[in-house]
Amino acid sequence: MRRTVLTLALLGLATLHAQQPAPGIESIRKEEMKADLFFLASDALEGRLTDTPGNRIAAEWIAARFARLGLVPAGDNGTFFQAFTLMTASRGAENTLRIGAASTAPGGPSQAASGDGLTAAAGQDFYPLRFSAAASASGEVAFVGFGISSPERGYDDYRGDVKGRIVLALDHEPGERDPDSPFDGIVTSQVSDQLWKTLAAQENGAAAILFVRDVHNHPAPVEFARSAAGYWPAQERRIPRYMLGSWVERVRIPAAQISPELAAELVKGSGRTLEELSNASESATGSTPVPLGTTVTIGTSVNRHAIEDRNVVALLEGSDPKLRDELVILCAHYDHDGVNGDNVMNGADDDGSGTVGVLELAEAFVEAARTGHRPRRSILFAAWNSEERGLFGAWAYTEHPLRPLQHTVAVLNLDMIGRNEEVPSPGGSGRFRGLDAQTAESNANAVNIIGTTRSASLEQIVDRANAGVGLTLRLRYDNNASQLMRRSDHWPFLNRGVPAVWIHTGLHPDYHTPNDDAERINYEKMEKIVRLVYEAAWELGNAEGRPVIGQ
């Protein structure tokens, strides 16, 4: 009996110990986050748009805060800045495409006789893609299904020789509406991105790539000339279309979008229609290239323009000689959408809230270290830039990580942690597409954790961290038509095999509007969320084991 009582007492002490708050957590205070956010999301920073003075001021301010805390500069040349390059593109004058001799059907492409071939009209039948090389190519055409090469999924559309050929690929991916698709369910997979498909074609020896709409999945007619005009507008956009420079620089071949009518001409020599070929491309393993019995000569004229960009990164070195080379990354993005007319898009929730949350996390870890509780692993605090433009700061980091990605234990990404999710109507279109109607009140104590299906062990860590915080954790958007899974900076890490989650209070009517201001933030809830993240990060930084993808 005495042994049983003693055992229960020891178990009680162990439970009490497990529920003790992580050291330094009391330094995470809503008052500090509010003061920081009223500056970061003020009109003075003009919406923090990429490549603007306000964006640069935000970066300098974050770096100064890291320096004041005494964190180690983790960027280039002893600074807090990790530089990377963005690209924009302008269309040159000479974009040409000519196909070999073929009959012209009524309602077909706008072609003109040119010797023994037919010339397609730029802007009506085809247009070059922004990431295309300024280059020319000529060769036989092969249809390559969706043009995807994904060895990790056992999928390859290049199960045959396409060296020197021009390949024709469908947009999107197989099973795009299938929740059980290996291509991330109904979330659009990264490997279906046109630029990634172009690099796959290039790696397989293709001389050029042409894209066409997957007409079996999207049969509704689209006015191609209008799409071309929208892709290359006559007037400059308020926000340029940026691309990641390190990706674009790899592209050496022409890449163009062509109309379904032009594609129908190209496939005639195969004896099958475009619809038939498209339907046959719905495969679980990929396809063999289909020779189309015609040739194409293409010349693309695209001018690339480089823009320098930067992340802000700081390090707290771990205490354990065996574990300090491993990283836990705590991150947010500091950019937003700038000024639209007389309206400043301050982005207080998106993602000023996450950025000031990362500053509070850094302060808490520094406070813990000051009192003799330095984590065993190193903690990297990162403020990514250009998330709104395509997650480019985080993607750039995965291209050139400060330490090998296999040494990254987990990524906790804070993006929009200051409001209650509110969806005014169900389903819908645009920014609320795929979301159920819900009130802000129904989510008053709730936070979405996105990415847990990739790592059950990381989900368990977050769940344990919440024991002393008491938030309602919602795990519902990993495989959802809203595409939220791929819409923040955890996504690049998941695609590189790193366990990562996005902590997110949800969309609301002020999202991406001038009303996303610091006055509308729920700071008390923010404090609870940042403390949740701190508890999870503390376990990640000190545990013997580490989370893994798939387990």
- CA dihedral angle for residue 188, residue 189, residue 190, residue 195, rounded to 10 degrees: -70
Is pLDDT at 281 greater than 80 in this prediction?
A: yes
Residue 211 carries which side chain, given as an amino acid letter?
Answer: F
Please give the average per-residue pLDDT across 409-430, as a whole number: 91
Residue 20 within any structural domain of the chain = no
DSSP for 462-479? HHHHGGGT--EEE---TT
Q: Do 276 and 315 share a structural domain?
A: no
User: Please, are residues 190 and 196 in contact by the beta-carbon 8 Å criterion?
Assistant: yes
Q: Please report which residue ranges of 192-248 form alpha helices under DSSP H.
A: 194-203, 224-231, 245-248
Locate 193 and state its tokens: 């991105």
Q: Do 320 and 413 share a structural domain?
A: yes
Domain termination residue (choose one: 279, 300, 321): 300
Pairing of strands 126-128, 208-212: unpaired
- Mean pLDDT across the chain: 94
Q: Do 284 and 366 share a structural domain?
A: no
Q: Do 470 and 385 share a structural domain?
A: yes
Band of residue 111 on the pLDDT scale cut at 50, 70, 90: low
Q: Do 528 and 379 share a structural domain?
A: yes
Is pLDDT at 67 greater than 90 in this prediction?
A: yes
Total number of domains in the chain = 2
- Put residue 77 in one of left, alpha, beta given phi > 0 → left and psi -120 to 50 → alpha: left
Give residues with Cβ within 8 angstroms of 390, minimum separation 6: 242, 243, 244
For residue 444, the enclosing domain spans: 27-86+306-542
CATH number at residue 218: 3.50.30.30
User: Please, are residues 536 and 449 in contact by the beta-carbon 8 Å criterion?
Assistant: no
Q: Would you state the pLDDT for residue 140?
A: 97
Q: Do 281 and 351 share a structural domain?
A: no
Is pLDDT at 223 greater than 60 in this prediction?
A: yes
Percent of the chain with pLDDT over 70: 93
- CA dihedral angle for residue 7, residue 13, residue 18, residue 21, rounded to 10 degrees: 170
Residue 21 within any structural domain of the chain = no
User: Please, are residues 48 and 60 in contact by the beta-carbon 8 Å criterion?
Assistant: no
Residue 171 carries which side chain, given as an amino acid letter?
Answer: D
Q: Would you state the pLDDT for residue 428?
A: 64
The least confident of 183-187, 221-225, 275-279, 423-427 is: 423-427
Q: Would you state the pLDDT for residue 549?
A: 95
Q: Convert the pLDDT of each residue in 121-167 to its tens digit.
A: 999 999 999 999 999 999 999 999 999 999 999 999 999 999 999 99
Band of residue 430 on the pLDDT scale cut at 50, 70, 90: confident
Residue 13 within any structural domain of the chain = no
Band of residue 551 on the pLDDT scale cut at 50, 70, 90: confident
Q: Do 285 and 315 share a structural domain?
A: no
**CA 225 to the chain's CA centroid:** 29
Distance CA 196, CA 186 (A): 19
Domain termination residue (choose one: 272, 300, 328): 300
Distance CA 517, CA 346 (A): 6
Domain termination residue (choose one: 253, 272, 300): 300
Check: pTM over 0.85? Answer yes or no: yes
**CA 275 to the chain's CA centroid:** 31
**How far is the first Cα of the chain from the last one, in angstroms, to the nearest whole number?**
40
Strand-pairing partners, residue 329, are 380, 411
Q: Do 276 and 407 share a structural domain?
A: no
Q: Would you state the pLDDT for residue 425?
A: 84
Is pLDDT at 175 greater than 90 in this prediction?
A: yes
Residue 1 within any structural domain of the chain = no
Q: Do 338 and 240 share a structural domain?
A: no
* Ramachandran angles phi, psi of 88, nearest 5°: -120, 170
Q: Would you state the pLDDT for residue 2?
A: 38
Locate 217 and state its tokens: 């999945």
Q: Do 484 and 463 share a structural domain?
A: yes
CATH number at residue 478: 3.40.630.10
Q: For residue 170, which of 217, 206, 136, 205 has the smallest C-alpha distance?
A: 217
Q: Would you state the pLDDT for residue 320?
A: 98
* Ramachandran angles phi, psi of 367, nearest 5°: -65, -40
Q: Which 8-state DSSP code applies to residue 62?
A: H
Band of residue 398 on the pLDDT scale cut at 50, 70, 90: very high
Q: Convert the pLDDT of each residue in 483-504 to its tens digit.
A: 999 999 999 999 999 999 999 9
Residues in the chain: 551
Is pLDDT at 481 greater than 90 in this prediction?
A: yes
User: Please, are residues 45 and 54 in contact by the beta-carbon 8 Å criterion?
Assistant: yes
Q: Convert the pLDDT of each residue in 26-53 to its tens digit.
A: 999 999 999 999 999 999 999 999 999 9
Residue 547 within any structural domain of the chain = no
Distance CA 134, CA 300 (A): 5
Distance CA 399, CA 391 (A): 12
Please give the average per-residue pLDDT across 105-112, as a whole number: 48
Q: Convert the pLDDT of each residue in 433-452 to its tens digit.
A: 999 999 999 999 999 999 99
Residue 10 within any structural domain of the chain = no
Residue 402 within any structural domain of the chain = yes
Q: Convert the pLDDT of each residue in 347-391 to its tens digit.
A: 999 999 999 999 999 999 999 999 999 999 999 999 999 999 999
Residue 347 within any structural domain of the chain = yes
Q: Do 146 and 293 share a structural domain?
A: yes
Please give the average per-residue pLDDT across 68-75, as a whole number: 98
Q: Do 222 and 110 share a structural domain?
A: yes
